[in-house]
A and B are shown apart, each in its own frame.
Chain A
Amino acid sequence: MKTSRRQHTLEVLVENEPGVLARVAGLFSRRAFNIETLNVGPTEDSTISKMVIGVGVEGHSLEQVIAQLDKLINVISIKEIVSGKIEEVNDTQPDYQN
């Protein structure tokens, strides 16, 4: 569990398709998750974009934010950036991205 900290940074790979930013932003808005920062940029693969999202976790678990993000069909993978290094998200839930 990493819910003791309130600030988390997620690196999210998404399909580079119209509407993806709206889907992510809309999800955070309607689930009352807080976006502190959001950066979107290209990757070496032109079909995939990278989002770096600063998440304020208050009243929600990070696991719930990640699980809801992962339900978006255009979201390919989610990793958490912890103190400079990138960690695969390994929460208390079973591995559903097998």
Chain B
Amino acid sequence: MKMGRHLPTPNGTEMTGATALVKSLEAAGVDVMFGLPGGAILPAYDPIFDSTIRHILVRHEQGAGHAATGYAQVTGRAGVCIATSGPGATNLVTPLMDAAMDSVPLVAITGQVPSAAIGTDAFQEADIRGITMPFTKHSYLITNPAEIPGTIAEAFHIATTGRPGPVLVDIAKDALQKMTKFNWPTSINLAGYRPQMSPTPQSITDAAALITQSSKPVFYVGGGVIKANGSKELRQLAELLGAPVVTTLMARGAFPDSHPLHMGMPGMHGTVAAVTALQKADLLITLGARFDDRVTGKLSTFAPHAKILHADIDPAEIGKNRHADVAVVGDVRLTMAALIPALRAALAKNKPDLTAWLRQMNSLKSTYPLGFDTPDDGSLSPQLVIQRIGQISGTDTIFTAGVGQHQMWASQFISYEHPRTWLNSGGAGTMGYGVPAAMGAKVGAPDSTVWAIDGDGCFQMTNQELVTCALNNIPIKVAIINNESLGMVRQWQTLFYDGRYSNTSLDSKRVPNFPMLAESMGCVGLACERPEDLDKTIEKAMSINDQPVVVDFRVHRDAMVWPMVAAGTSNDEIMIARATAPDWDSQEL
């Protein structure tokens, strides 16, 4: 790879390793980073003081990591977080694992104890490279200051190309302190890393042929389509074939929810139409998706009649969980761009009739729309709160979520029309992701409204970053869907543990007082517990743009997420409500 950016600092200039680090980050095009200083990284914070890079001082390193992820998810560029050695570095472990599971380009810089002290159990020493090896795309330990510029250049290259992922750069304190000559590389050539961007012509020909042999195809769309900026090509491809589309949790927004071909989200809490489309299909056109267990359910019964066309940039995903009849390795946008003319030519000779298939799927879509019961005691329905926030704030709004019931409702009851407007922790399931990710998203997209849809459990894990937001003019909005429980765990206890609610009650309608907590952190705190106050509370929150806003939506406790495919069971056993299966007999399948 050629490093095309103009170099503000001439190579050969004498400077400390710390200055070389900051100059390298500038040369890599970094405009913002999230971090918190400490002893081992302290030399780097002196040149950071003079840098053009905006450094946002977080209150906990986990917040820095998720903020960098939120920034990366909305901008498509690498997010950067920085922390000191030992506990500072280990507080980045969860965000690194989260970014690896969701293929987020992240560069994490950590200080390390001086090189002579490594291995002595020195104060604040942790082998962070060893700890994070399973879930970093690559990692470095630098003890020689001359290696800093080249390593930073490599780290950004690896994080942002191929299948994106997190890269850790651990730098010994003495390497930051020693003098070196700045040497930003002119090109990067890694013998063991050459991701294949363009699919082979043969694989495209095979893919087009497989599609024309199918009479029940489905587009199974994953987060890779968003990473590759492939929404436009996806829409062209889907409309060319006229086949139903499903978008996974990571792909919400890759294809407009309002599009008539869209059957919704598949998986454990997917729509009946989307789940059934996969189960009844004779071909899955898999684009940047990885046959995750939350999508497939019991793998041996997943899509039993389907051949698999699998397009992914990561060759190791091909055949990992499900055999691929045709594999297309490459950037999924380039794959779709190549497939469109190839398929158009193939369809001109042999166009399968998909009318009956689409009619069946549309019948399921209209018979089993997503819905929810309104509590009969006049209390607030959590799904209604989330639905109204989506409707009132509009489709240009960026939404983040924590993990649990509120996350699933936010994926179900908000209509996503654009890519990069839905950020969540899909693979890792990281509770507490919502608030710091919203902070990073707002920094990356300052002109967009950013709502964190959070749970009362999640919010209590990472809300300290609201202080960071208040002090740094990052006016996010937070909706706490307060059901005073670890709601998803409670739902499983209701369904699978005879309603024995062991340790899932948080009492968060008593303690803490969320509006007061918000006010104490420099935010506006609001509360709402009656349906008749809902719209005006959301509108009030929408009207405040100079401060973060936190709304405590005090909702009904017993609402559950439906539909549901219980863990480890087949997608064919989807339930639309407790002990209620779809009426298959009335469907022509």
Closest to A69 in B: B316
Tell yes or no: B141 within 8 A of A by CB.
yes
A76 touches B192 (CB 8 A): yes
Known contacts A15-B192, A30-B134, A93-B327: A64-B319 contact under CB 8 Å = yes
Residue from A23, A26, A61, A98 in contact with B319 in the complex, judged by beta carbons closer than 8 Å = A61
Please report which residues of chain B, range 313-330, place their CB below 8 angstroms from some CB of chain A when the two chains form the complex: 314-316, 318-320, 327-329
**Complex interface bits, A1-42 against B, C-beta within 8 A gives 1, otherwise 0:** 000000000000011001100110010001000000000000
B141 touches A26 (CB 8 A): no
**Complex interface bits, B327-344 against A, C-beta within 8 A gives 1, otherwise 0:** 111000000000000000
A73 touches B190 (CB 8 A): yes
Tell yes or no: B577 within 8 A of A by CB.
no
Choose, from B193-201, B226-234, B264-272, B483-491, the stretch at the interface. Answer: B193-201
A67 touches B316 (CB 8 A): yes
Could you tell me the distance between the alpha carbons of A89 and B320 in the complex, rounded to whole angstroms?
Answer: 18
Residues of A within 8 A of B134 (CB): 26, 30
Tell yes or no: A82 within 8 A of B by CB.
no
Residues of B in contact with A, size category = 20 to 34
The number of residue pairs between A and B whose CB atoms lie closer than 8 Å in the complex comes to 64
Closest to A29 in B: B134
Q: What distance in Å separates the Cβ of A98 from its nearest Cβ neighbour in chain B?
A: 6
Tell yes or no: B129 within 8 A of A by CB.
yes
Q: What distance in Å separates the Cβ of B361 from its nearest Cβ neighbour in chain A?
A: 31
Could you tell me the distance between the alpha carbons of A88 and B194 in the complex, rounded to whole angstroms?
Answer: 18
Closest to B321 in A: A64
Closest to B198 in A: A98
B192 touches A75 (CB 8 A): yes
Which of A15, A19, A61 has the most CB atoms of chain B within a 10 A radius of its CB?
A19
Could you tell me the distance between the alpha carbons of A30 and B134 in the complex, rounded to whole angstroms?
Answer: 8
Q: What distance in Å separates the Cβ of B91 from its nearest Cβ neighbour in chain A?
A: 22
A98 touches B194 (CB 8 A): yes
A98 touches B138 (CB 8 A): no
B316 touches A71 (CB 8 A): yes
Known contacts A22-B130, A64-B316: A72-B194 contact under CB 8 Å = no
Residues of B within 8 A of A30 (CB): 134
Residues of B within 8 A of A72 (CB): 192
Q: What distance in Å separates the Cβ of A54 from its nearest Cβ neighbour in chain B?
A: 21
Which of B133, B137, B141 has the most CB atoms of chain A within a 10 A radius of its CB?
B133
B329 touches A96 (CB 8 A): yes
Residue from B139, B141, B194, B328 in contact with A97 in the complex, judged by beta carbons closer than 8 Å = B194
Could you tell me the distance between the alpha carbons of A74 and B138 in the complex, rounded to whole angstroms?
Answer: 9
Closest to B328 in A: A94
Closest to A19 in B: B129
Tell yes or no: B214 within 8 A of A by CB.
no
Q: What distance in Å separates the Cβ of B334 from its nearest Cβ neighbour in chain A?
A: 14
Residues of B within 8 A of A23 (CB): 133
Chain B residues in the interface with A (C-beta under 8 A) = 129-130, 133-134, 137-139, 141, 158, 190-196, 199-200, 203, 314-316, 318-320, 327-329
Known: A19-B129, A67-B315, A98-B196. 12 other contacts (CB 8 A): A14-B192, A15-B191, A15-B192, A22-B133, A23-B133, A68-B316, A71-B314, A73-B192, A75-B192, A93-B319, A94-B200, A94-B315
